């Protein structure tokens, strides 16, 4: 056990805010032991409320020994997907405007460079000045993206300096966030980063208030999308790097709890199931950059496959069949714990004549007798019809079903535009979910199991099934869905393609559902164990692992695996540098070269000089950035990748095309001690 001053243990507090639950765990930083853990419902309108509720359930006697607070959050991911963020002014240098960019104001000015890092045309600083002065009161942040700025950042740097002299707004440059080619992706990354700055700032301020309220004196660190940690001050500047923070924490937590280096991680949450791969003890990263909200970015993040199946997925009974929808609803058991009128309404449905359920409608629109709606928030602007104000008035009183609302308003049930109101977040649906199945059978009981059982009884009767048959069918559907999604992820890993033809779909269904034909049957074999993360994994993953013919590892404390991951990562900062020989001189043993990287373009008389300079300057930068990100001590690692053109025998040695260096600074997070930070 690692100890601090006076022999006290050094503890870390990890928090993960998922789509449904907020998890918290206190770990011994020396041996990784979980000493206290808790879960609370995520409060989407104010994440800190759910965080505070989770912390309240922990052992307060341990707070004085907490040296580090790590947080993984869905906030950045959700904000991008939902189109939230501040107003951004984009300055594009030497390139056409990028279509469908989420900005409020945009200007194109002359400038930019070529692949050799030479100027294509002079920079139009006056044009940039006029744009900034004209929009500085209309935007909250600026993003700057220059053509081939990764080969020479001087134009982006000059415009950034100008913007800072004219306005106090935050300014983000594309070359600061990505070093790979791809003007469109780099521009999107800079814009999204600018949009997220005030959102992350608000989250950090709120969490720090919770820290003060709970008496937790420790540095706050945020989990990045690649699973590493960064100090809150760095997160304020580079918030886009926190996208996919939750899935990254899941993979890091899986390793921390199991000590395995090779595995498939299946994290079954309330809203989604995330599937990732652990290789050589590290999460597999998306080489092209994370895709978010339909945009490809240049953010290095874990390569996860997210499926819309979770504990809160909607169970639909229609057309004599059971279906699983990706739509998230509040489970009956959770809702009944907050709304005492719900259970009597469910009990009253028992034995009643089943209502007609149209099967021709979209799955998410098909009404269910066991579903109710509750008011969430007002949204102004869209025209939702004359009845929506009355709907809101009734739902503010108590949760009501579609049929209750229709009867009270004297209208046909299908005339109400509830789906649109639901999509806008004005109301939220309550209904049967896989979580209710576990409550009804008694295998996982956290909330009101009576409400879950009542809902299952009503729908089982309508379907002509026993309660156990209904539960078993839903659980089988969940198992088959998770198994299919894992298989899709692994197929993509092998061939880079997820679009399946009819034969492939037949093979997959045969393997997953065991629907062997007269002459042939297929079986699967996974070469890695499966690690299950999440509260309900014990109900589903044993059968998933059995179908794959592999071992299932369910670590102790798996229900707070993401929270454990939020405090188990290293601080890591990396910079990529490119060295290219002068044109036509690549065949020389030690040719004159040019170095391209985020700070400059620089010429050298030899490859050896360029490489030594790159290692020294790159090492200096990543060490500085890692220390600023909260590392205690920093180890610098340099990875060389030499790209050559092979010549036929008799033509001499190979020709050097380029040398790529990745310089990485890695360190353990700095801990807090009284009187020292």
pLDDT in tens, 433-451: 999 999 999 998 889 999 9
pLDDT at 426 over 80: yes
pLDDT beyond 60 at 657:
yes
Q: Work out whether the CA dihedral 70, 50, 73, 270 comes out positive or negative.
A: positive
**DSSP designation for 672:** P
498 or 377, which is more confident?
377
Lowest-pLDDT range, 42-46, 130-134, 158-162, 673-677? 673-677
Q: Is pLDDT at 375 greater than 50 in this prediction?
A: yes
pLDDT of residue 382: 62
Q: What percent of the chain is modeled with pLDDT above 90?
A: 61
The region of weakest confidence among 75-89, 398-412, 612-626 is 75-89
67 in the Ramachandran plot: left (φ > 0), alpha (ψ -120 to 50) or beta? alpha
Q: Which of 207-216, 447-456, 652-661 has the highest mean pLDDT?
A: 447-456
Count CB neighbours of 415 within 10 A: 10
Q: Max CA-CA distance within the chain?
A: 91
Query: Domain locations in the chain?
Result: 84-195, 313-472, 571-667
pLDDT-based confidence at 370, cuts 50/70/90?
A: very high
- Give the confidence band of 362 by pLDDT, cuts at 50, 70, 90: confident
Report the half-sphere exposure of 312 (CA within 13 A, side-chain side): 21
Dump pLDDT digits (tens) for 141-173: 999 999 999 999 999 999 999 999 999 999 999
pLDDT at 2: 45
Q: Is 70 exceeded by the pLDDT of residue 184?
A: yes
Residue 21 is encoded by which pair of tokens? 């639950």
| Confidence tier at 270 by pLDDT (50, 70, 90) | confident
Strand 427-431 versus strand 372-375 pairing type: antiparallel
The pLDDT of residue 468: 96
- Mean pLDDT lowest among 396-405, 538-547, 666-675: 666-675
Give the dihedral sign, CA 320/324/329/332.
positive
Q: How far apart are CA 286 and CA 465, in angstroms?
A: 45
Binning pLDDT at 50, 70 and 90, where does residue 138 land? very high
Dump pLDDT digits (tens) for 458-482: 999 989 999 999 999 999 999 999 9
Determine the pLDDT at residue 675: 46
Given this model, what pLDDT does residue 535 score?
A: 82
The residue-averaged pLDDT of 86-108 equals 90
pLDDT for position 5: 44
Mean pLDDT, the chain, as a whole number? 88
Structure tokens at 262: 């090779």
Note the pLDDT of residue 402. Answer: 92
Over residues 194-211, mean pLDDT: 89
CATH number of the structural domain 84-195: 3.40.50
pTM over 0.95: no
In the block, tokens 């997070």 appear at: 669
Tokens standing for 479?
């198992």
HSE on the CB side for 229, CA within 13 Å?
31
* DSSP letters for 540-604: HHHHHHHHHTS-EE--TTGGGHHHHHTTTPPEEEEEEEEEEEPTT-TTSSS--EEEEETTEEEEE
Q: How would residue 360 be classed by pLDDT, with cut points 50, 70 and 90?
A: low
Give the mean model confidence (pLDDT) for residues 279-299: 82
Q: Rounded to whole angstroms, how far apart are CA atoms 426 and 126? A: 46
CA count, 13 A, side-chain hemisphere, 329: 28
Q: What mean pLDDT comes out for the span 617-621?
A: 96
């Amino acid at each position: 056990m690692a100890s601090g001053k006076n022999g006290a243990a050094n503890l870390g507090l990890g928090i993960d805010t998922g789509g449904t639950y907020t998890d918290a765990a206190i770990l011994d930083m020396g041996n990784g032991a979980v000493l206290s853990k808790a879960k609370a419902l995520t409060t989407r309108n104010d994440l800190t409320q759910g965080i505070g509720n989770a912390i309240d359930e922990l052992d307060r006697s341990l707070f004085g020994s907490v040296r580090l607070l790590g947080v993984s959050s869905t906030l950045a991911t959700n904000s991008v997907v939902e189109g939230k963020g501040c107003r951004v002014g984009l300055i594009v240098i030497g390139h056409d405007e990028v279509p469908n960019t989420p900005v409020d104001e945009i200007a194109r000015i002359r400038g930019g460079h070529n692949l050799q890092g030479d100027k294509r045309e002079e920079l139009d600083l006056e044009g940039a000045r006029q744009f900034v002065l004209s929009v500085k009161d209309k935007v909250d942040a600026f993003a700057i993206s220059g053509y081939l700025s990764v080969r020479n950042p001087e134009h982006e740097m000059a415009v950034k300096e100008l913007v800072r002299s004219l306005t106090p707004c935050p300014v983000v440059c594309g070359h600061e966030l990505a070093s790979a080619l791809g003007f469109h992706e780099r521009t999107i990354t800079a814009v999204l980063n600018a949009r997220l700055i005030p959102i992350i700032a608000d989250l950090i301020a709120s969490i720090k208030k919770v820290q003060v309220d709970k008496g937790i004196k420790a540095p706050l660190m945020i989990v990045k999308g690649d699973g590493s940690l960064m100090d809150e001050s760095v997160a304020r500047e580079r918030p886009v790097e926190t996208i996919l923070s939750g899935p990254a924490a899941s993979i890091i937590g899986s390793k921390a709890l199991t000590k395995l280096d090779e595995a498939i991680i299946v994290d079954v949450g309330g809203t989604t199931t995330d599937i990732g791969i652990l290789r050589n003890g590290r999460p597999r990263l998306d080489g092209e950059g994370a895709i978010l909200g339909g945009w490809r970015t240049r953010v290095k993040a874990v390569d996860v496959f997210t499926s819309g199946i979770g504990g809160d997925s909607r169970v639909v009974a229609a057309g004599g069949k059971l279906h699983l929808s990706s739509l998230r609803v509040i489970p009956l058991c959770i809702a009944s714990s907050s709304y005492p009128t719900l259970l009597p309404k469910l009990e009253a449905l028992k034995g009643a004549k089943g209502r007609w359920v149209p099967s021709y409608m979209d799955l998410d629109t098909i009404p269910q007798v066991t579903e109710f709606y509750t008011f969430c928030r007002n949204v102004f602007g869209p025209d939702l019809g004359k009845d929506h104000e009355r709907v809101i008035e009734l739902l503010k009183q108590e949760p009501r079903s579609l049929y209750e609302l229709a009867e009270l308003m004297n209208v046909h049930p299908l005339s109400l535009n509830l789906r649109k109101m639901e999509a806008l977040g004005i109301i939220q649906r309550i209904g049967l979910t896989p979580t209710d199945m576990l409550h009804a059978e008694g295998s996982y009981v956290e909330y009101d199991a009576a409400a879950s059982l009542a809902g299952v009884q009503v729908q089982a009767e309508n379907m002509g099934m026993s309660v156990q048959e209904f539960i078993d069918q839903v659980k089988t559907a969940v198992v088959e869905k998770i198994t299919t999604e894992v298989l899709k992820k692994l197929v993509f890993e092998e061939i880079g393609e997820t679009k399946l033809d009819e034969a492939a779909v037949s093979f997959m269904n045969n393997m997953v559902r065991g629907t062997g034909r007269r002459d042939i049957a297929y079986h699967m074999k996974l070469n890695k164990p499966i690690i299950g993360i999440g509260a309900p994994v014990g109900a589903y993953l044993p059968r998933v692992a059995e179908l794959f013919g592999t071992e299932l590892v369910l670590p102790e404390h798996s229900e707070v695996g993401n929270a454990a991951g939020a405090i188990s990562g290293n601080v890591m900062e990396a910079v990529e540098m490119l060295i290219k020989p002068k044109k036509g001189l690549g065949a020389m043993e030690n040719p004159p070269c040019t170095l391209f990287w985020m700070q400059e373009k620089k010429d050298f008389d030899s490859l050896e000089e360029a490489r030594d300079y790159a290692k020294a300057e790159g090492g200096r930068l990543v060490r500085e950035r890692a220390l600023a990100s909260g590392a205690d001590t920093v180890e610098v690692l340099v990875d060389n990748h030499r790209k050559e053109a092979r010549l036929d025998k008799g033509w001499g040695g190979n020709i050097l095309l380029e040398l790529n260096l990745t310089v990485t600074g890695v360190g353990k997070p700095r801990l807090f001690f009284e009187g020292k930070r």
